[in-house]
Structure 1
Amino acid sequence: MSNLRILTLAGLLVGLMIPSVLAQEAAATAESAPSPEEQEAQRKAFLDKIESFGWKREGKGQLGSMAEVQIPKDWRFTDGNGTRELLKLYGNLVGDTELGMLTTEGEGPWVIFEFEDSGYVKDDEKDQLNADEMLATLREIQDAGNERRREMGLGELQLLGWAVAPRFNDQTKNLEWAIRVGSANGESINYSTRLLGRHGVMKVDLVCTPEELTALMTPYQSIISGYQYLTGNSYAEFREGDKVAKYGLTALVAGGAAVAAGKMGLFAKLGGIFAKMGKAVILVVVAVGAAIKGLFGKLFGKREQI
């Protein structure tokens, strides 16, 4: 299926891309595209590399010592090490918070699990989630991110609004929202779920196009339903004396979690301006993949819808 990835400038395909194809996309030269045979060879080499990361296709995937997730039919799971290897293959910066990933076969969508050991996040703001105020904050972050993108020679992105306004499920203790991100190359959706636990927050993110969102919601929500904290780690098992986070639900959406916890995470490597914004900068860089979406289409062809 057609799919956007969280990409940075470096190492888009770690040497597996054909330089002439990159030149064609970047400079719109008249160079000829790879032959069908060359494209198929590139595709096979790329998928073989992905397959080498060690996948589990049934049962439950272990998310470190924190949780586990049921592996849906036609999906596969890799642990934190495999997740980091795959992210690096696509040119992403990685940290030490990735615990696992679910994806379909081939070039399917990604659902990535990361744990922020911030402590117990109180839900006392659950009835005070102001979508307009949070969107304004996110746009301020995005403006700063665009400044950095210009320095890197990248086009600006537009935060178009909510695809799903922030909402909290008091029964499951899940917070979710979805942002629409636009660029000169189209629009993408960043769908985020935060699963509150005793010791912190499991962060789950899905990136897709608006056209894919409806079809992906059923399998995505099935994945969320199949998630379970291990004994001793659930939100309901909080005890007096446990570490309590210094922020609430609003900060989780606005991206203040990483800042409040003093954790710069993946984007510290991008420099001070990104570090100050913490993990919320994912909303700024997530659509970089749109710039080479056409190139992926030429290399791998149209991907099967799930």
Structure 2
Amino acid sequence: MKQIYTLLLLVFASVASYAQEVDSLKLEIQRIENSLQYQTGVISLKDGLATITVPKGFKFLDGEQAEYVLTDLWGNPKTGTSLGMLVPEQYGVLDSNSWVFNVEFDEIGYVKDDDANEIDYADLLNTMQEETLEENAARKAEGYEPIQLIGWASTPYYDADQKILHWAKEIKFGEADEHTLNYNVRVLGRKGVLVLNAIAGMNNLPEVQQSIATVTGNVAFESGHSYFDFDPKVDEVAAWTIGGLVAGKMLAKVGFFALLLKFWKVIALAVVAAGSAVMKFLKRRKEATPAEEVPVS
């Protein structure tokens, strides 16, 4: 019976050690969240290019903090292009169920929308899936997980009156069980497009879809920068078309797991050490002589 108690103590010790490390992880997540400076109200983007009025139910991180979240916390390649990030007010950026709209401006010129009604999005999807697979070798070489484009989570839609394009991709990163949602919004302007990418899990799709109208209704180019201010005499026309905008980069939200990497060795060592002690105990039990065995009553 004493030996059984010893075994139980070893198991409890391993569980306690693991629980302590999990608590440390929770404290680190809370520390990171507390360090972020969220904003509300009217936000000026890129020196007066556009404004975003933070919608009810959201909070805003500026470009520097958004880059920190995207690269240091979520493990995406560093670009330095984020103008900021809209975060649902009920979530922190490292919450398991969180999602965000990342805001950028792509200065590609004036995008003609003549092709908007002529695009076969099924064919475009097939092409994008093939290209994604071909690019995986380069991603692996740079230390990033391969990507599989599963399909449309929301078929591309273009609002010709508002000059707003949006669509959604369902993506699988590496061997992840949960697929990633990239919900893409493009607001066409005079010299390029405002980019609003919702980076989320597939389980967030209903929330994201419900917020599209609210978010796009609170983003606007300043006077002189809108699509309708285009001057063919001085402004450049983009090489991109509506169809070309749909085939873009993909981002991942892997925040909890990226942060977990900082602690995994400590947690693993604690579990392995305890497990090793348990195995040694069981081995001793197996090699014990019959006289040392505890009789079964």
TM-score of the pair, normalised by structure 2 = 0.71
Note if 1:229 corresponds to 2:194. Answer: no
Structure 2 match to 1:120 = 110
Note if 1:70 corresponds to 2:68. Answer: no
Note if 1:165 corresponds to 2:155. Answer: yes
Structure 2 match to 1:100 = 84
Note if 1:292 corresponds to 2:257. Answer: yes
Larger radius of gyration: 2
**2: CA distance between counterparts of 1:150 and 1:233?**
39
Note if 1:208 corresponds to 2:200. Answer: yes
CA separation of 1:290 and 1:81: change in aligned 2, threshold 3 A: closer
Matched-pair contact (CA < 8 Å) for 1:180–1:187: yes
Q: Give the % identical residues.
A: 28
Matched-pair contact (CA < 8 Å) for 2:102–2:199: no
Letter in 2 for 1:145: E
- Higher mean C-alpha deviation, range 163-172 or range 150-159: 150-159
Letter in 1 for 2:179: E
What's the offset of the Cα at 1:118?
1.0
Structure 1 match to 2:180 = 188
Note if 1:140 corresponds to 2:149. Answer: no
CA separation of 1:292 and 1:40: change in aligned 2, threshold 3 A: closer
CA separation of 1:293 and 1:180: change in aligned 2, threshold 3 A: farther
Question: 1:81-102 CA distances to partner (integer Å, 9 max, x unpaired)?
Answer: 3322333432433334322211
What's the offset of the Cα at 1:154?
5.8
Matched-pair contact (CA < 8 Å) for 1:191–1:205: yes
Letter in 2 for 1:254: A
Give RMSD over aligned pairs.
2.8
Matched-pair contact (CA < 8 Å) for 1:60–1:71: yes
**1: CA distance between counterparts of 2:146 and 2:200?**
19
**1: CA distance between counterparts of 2:202 and 2:104?**
24
**2: CA distance between counterparts of 1:293 and 1:94?**
15
Matched-pair contact (CA < 8 Å) for 1:195–1:201: yes
Stretches of structure 1 lacking an aligned partner (at least 5 in a row): 1-30, 256-279, 300-306
What's the offset of the Cα at 1:175?
1.2
**2: CA distance between counterparts of 1:212 and 1:126?**
27
Note if 1:199 corresponds to 2:164. Answer: no
**1: CA distance between counterparts of 2:145 and 2:246?**
25
Structure 2 match to 1:89 = 72
What's the offset of the Cα at 1:165?
1.5
Stretches of structure 2 lacking an aligned partner (at least 5 in a row): 1-16, 265-297
What's the offset of the Cα at 1:293?
8.0
**2: CA distance between counterparts of 1:288 and 1:141?**
22
Note if 1:60 corresponds to 2:10. Answer: no
**2: CA distance between counterparts of 1:294 and 1:48?**
15
What's the offset of the Cα at 1:157?
3.2
Structure 1 match to 2:164 = 174
Structure 2 match to 1:43 = 29
Matched-pair contact (CA < 8 Å) for 2:52–2:219: yes
